[in-house]
Amino acid sequence: MILLDGKATAQSIRTELKAEVTALTAAKDRAPGLAVILAGQDPASQVYVRNKERACAEIGIASFPHVLPESTSQAELTALIDRLNVDQRVDGILLQLPVPRGLDSRVLLERIDPGKDVDGFHPQNMGRLALGLPGFAPCTPAGVIELLRRFDLPTQGKTAVVVGRSNIVGRPLSIMLSQPGRFGDATVTLCHSRTHDLAGVCRGADFLFSAIGRPKFITCDMIKPGAVVVDVGINRTEDGLVGDCDFEVLCASASAMTPVPGGIGPMTIAMLLKNTVQAFKEHTAA
């Protein structure tokens, strides 16, 4: 079985990006900049934001943190986004989700300039993704596709099953897998909690992608022998972080599989950095 090592792959991507950022910073006389907005005290969000800031620093992206209290209002966040939209040092704006209770994240995400939407959540970027036009793709599904590309596991002509239809993972991943290309061109089934005979549907998959949020939900009877299994799930349990897939059991049947942790998590951060560098290039193009 091939271990789809996202940690090592993400490290290679960061090394490539660091060289690119060093050259671009010298040529353009400023570094790429990422503004990170964290409102509230969610412990997991604090860890994610810290990891993103550390990753930025490592490759030479300037980060502009905005840590705000739980009591921050919709109007205050809107005003902050408006300021960041016109701040010339800022190429990307990241609003860490979830936002505090009572705030409307959908409206806030729509407020972000689509040209600075490095998370790829703005409806304009989602629409462009669906139409196959250039734009910012959401980082987690982009990380999945990039991992397949780096391990040269083409999905072209294959059967792909995605379990989970969220707007940030499952749905955009299903769109990317169905677009033309060597790492697209799959025959895609998108599953969710109302799917009938989920195990049977999953068993038909050459490529199985899980983005559910339930520890060890995908079991041996749900995969085709030789399938490629990509586990996006990150679940906190008493035994630490586990994925949606029972790795120890599935790895005996899968031909390739991601670990959790060390799979799609680091790839997601690498794609955020990549999108930020892309935004910088667009903002500084002569």
Cα 21 to the chain's mean position, in Å?
A: 21
Using CA atoms, how far apart are residues 247 and 259, in angstroms rounded to an integer?
Answer: 7
- Provide the minimum distance between the beta carbon of 139 and ligand NAP in the complex, in angstroms, as a whole number: 7
DSSP letter at 286? -
Cβ proximity of 191 and 238 under 8 Å:
no
Of 25, 72, 74, 166, the one binding ligand NAP (CB under 6 A) is: 166
- Provide the minimum distance between the beta carbon of 30 and ligand NAP in the complex, in angstroms, as a whole number: 29
105 binds ligand NAP (CB under 6 A): no
Q: Interface mask (CB under 6 A) for ligand NAP, residues 232-251, using x and -?
A: xxxx----------------
Of 176, 212, 242, 254, the one binding ligand NAP (CB under 6 A) is: 212
- Provide the minimum distance between the beta carbon of 16 and ligand NAP in the complex, in angstroms, as a whole number: 20
Of 35, 80, 163, 273, the one binding ligand NAP (CB under 6 A) is: 163
> Which spans in the chain are helix H?
6-28, 43-59, 74-86, 105-111, 123-131, 139-150, 170-178, 198-203, 247-250, 264-284
Looking at residues 118 to 147 of the shown chain, list those that interact with ligand NAP (rule: CB under 6 A): 140
The DSSP-derived string for 247-285 is HHHHTTT-SEE--SSSSHHHHHHHHHHHHHHHHHHHHH-
257 binds ligand NAP (CB under 6 A): no
Using CA atoms, how far apart are residues 66 and 37, in angstroms rounded to an integer?
Answer: 5
CA torsion angle for 264, 267, 273, 275 (degrees, to 10)? -80
Best CA proximity match to 245, nearest among 272, 264, 271, 267: 264
* Residues identified as active-site: 52, 96, 119
Looking at residues 180 to 209 of the shown chain, list those that interact with ligand NAP (rule: CB under 6 A): 191-195, 198
3-class secondary structure, 34: strand
* For ligand NAP, the closer CB: 126 or 212: 212
Of 37, 129, 145, 264, the one binding ligand NAP (CB under 6 A) is: 264
- Provide the minimum distance between the beta carbon of 144 and ligand NAP in the complex, in angstroms, as a whole number: 9
* For ligand NAP, the closer CB: 92 or 170: 170
Using CA atoms, how far apart are residues 247 and 243, in angstroms rounded to an integer?
Answer: 8
Of 33, 120, 259, 265, the one binding ligand NAP (CB under 6 A) is: 265
Of 66, 122, 165, 216, the one binding ligand NAP (CB under 6 A) is: 165
Residues that bind ligand NAP (CB under 6 A): 140, 163-166, 168-170, 191-195, 198, 211-214, 232-235, 264-265, 268
